[in-house]
Amino acid sequence: MAPAVALVDEGAFMNLTTAIQSIHFKVWVTVESSGTLRQESIPLTDERALVHAAGRLFAQGATEEAAKQIKQAQSGFNRKKAEWERRVRQSEDDSSRRRAMRELQQKKGNHNPINTRVSPAENQFRRLVEAMDVHLTLERKRELERKQAAANSAAAISEDEELIAIPAGFLDEFRTAEGDERHAVVSKYFNVEAELMVEVRPAGTQQASVTFTPALPKHRLYYIVDAAQIVRLRRLKVSRNVFYHNCLTRQNDKMTLQSVIEYVQAGGVWLLRPRPNSFQTD
């Protein structure tokens, strides 16, 4: 599978776009009244635009939509190629039937160069479609494995969703500490059960799929490194806000989901569990 997947990059879409642009499905037919040749065209504008759009979608991470666009372009290309071949046969058969051999040779001389450019484009379409199918299969497999790993991790952490108490003396010591001293106080009273990770993937126009690992278990204590805050997660509305209890101010509050993402990506957010030897209090 690896060689096929390697073909799926922005260059593959650009090369195919160029190959399509070099093909001009033209048919030379005889004008009965004068006996001269007239040129008729079958444009590939739509197919070229679809491939170009598919390249942009792939670059944005919308692989499935890109694959659909490429297959649609391939279908249109094949349909127009078949139409061009039919009309070429009709035109050349007409000259042959009338025994206009010079005219026939002239038509073939115009049609044959076009035909030589069709096969390479067909091969590029086929290779890209196959590579996209393989890419999608592997991408879905990785996504399934990632979700399974996240689910297993979240399950292992979320089994215990009781209201974990705060060790006695921690808040007083944490409140008086400054800067990096607060990190040391947190490490003194808590073990870091997990450092949150987040993955943001495009999911359509002006949308994104956000996945936390572990999956933000509720009622647990978190340390927001950049903000130097200890919070307890209350409830989660994934589409917009994260609701929490500020342990220092003893006030309930909320922050946007985007703020949580930025905290995780910057200094980090730690999921905490009191050390076994810490005396806990409400």
SS (H, E, C) 22-75: CCCEEEEEECCCCCCEEEEEECCHHHHHHHHHHHHHHHCCCHHHHHHHHHHHHH
Helix, strand, coil share of the chain (percent; to 5): 55, 25, 25
85, pLDDT greater than 90: yes
242: left (phi over 0), alpha (psi -120 to 50) or beta: beta
**Is residue 271's pLDDT more than 50?**
yes
User: What confidence score (pLDDT) does residue 275 get?
Assistant: 85
Q: What is the C-alpha separation between 221 and 226, in angstroms, rounded?
A: 16
Q: Which residues on adjacent β-strands are paired with residue 190?
A: 274
- Give the predicted TM-score (pTM) of the model: 0.53
Three-state SS sequence of 240-282: CEEEEEECCCCEEEEEEHHHHHHHHHCCCEEEEEECCCCCEEC
| β partners of residue 271 | 194, 222
Q: How confident is residue 4, by pLDDT bands cut at 50, 70 and 90? A: very low
pLDDT digits (tens, 9 = 90+) for 198-245: 888 776 656 677 888 888 888 889 999 988 899 998 876 556 788 888
Whether residue 212 contacts residue 257, with contact meaning beta carbons closer than 8 Å, is answered with: no
**pLDDT by residue (tens digit) across 19-67?**
999 999 999 999 988 889 999 999 999 999 999 999 999 888 888 899 9
Tell me: pLDDT of 1 over 90. no
- Tens-digit pLDDT profile for residues 103-115: 999 999 999 999 9
